[in-house]
Amino acid sequence: MTGTTPNTRDTIHVTLEQLGYIGDQLGVARSMPMMYGIYRSARNAGERITVSWQTGSAVYDVLATSVAVIDVLSDALTAKGLTCEAAGKRMNVYGQEHIDAEVMRMLQS
């Protein structure tokens, strides 16, 4: 990605804020090299979204409290150019960094 284009994590973060979610926790999973962020809805205290990613990976795992929340987030992220694979309350998000790496692997084989 270029310096002027936001990375996938920043795009997810900004999109969640625009949808009314507030990031209230960021950390590292102790059992594996994984980072995570927890976002809670400013409108509905029961709504929560967890975003996690492996260190060095450009694939993000999103887990929400409902399918409807994933649907709204998937539409918003897709509109910003990210690729989303939703399945129930879970979704994988692929950014340009991941797509570029996959293309490079194909070209090298």
Q: What is the pLDDT of residues 65-80, one digit of tens each?
A: 999 999 999 999 999 9
Whether residue 33 lies inside any domain: the answer is yes
How many whole angstroms separate alpha carbon 60 and alpha carbon 81?
Answer: 14
Q: What are phi and psi of 78, to 5 degrees?
A: -60, -40
Whether residue 36 lies inside any domain: the answer is yes
21-29/34-41 β-pairing = antiparallel
> pTM for this structure?
0.79
The token duo for 66 is: 């409902």
Instruction: Specify the number of domains making up the chain.
Output: 1
Q: Are 96 and 81 in contact (CB under 8 A)?
A: yes
Whether residue 1 lies inside any domain: the answer is no
State the pLDDT at residue 99.
62
Q: What are phi and psi of 92, to 5 degrees?
A: -100, 140
State the pLDDT at residue 3.
44
Give the pLDDT means over successive 10-residue stretches in the chain (109 positions).
Answer: 63 94 77 85 92 83 96 95 93 76 69
Residue 14, classed as helix, strand or coil, is helix
Beta bridge partners of 39: 23, 49
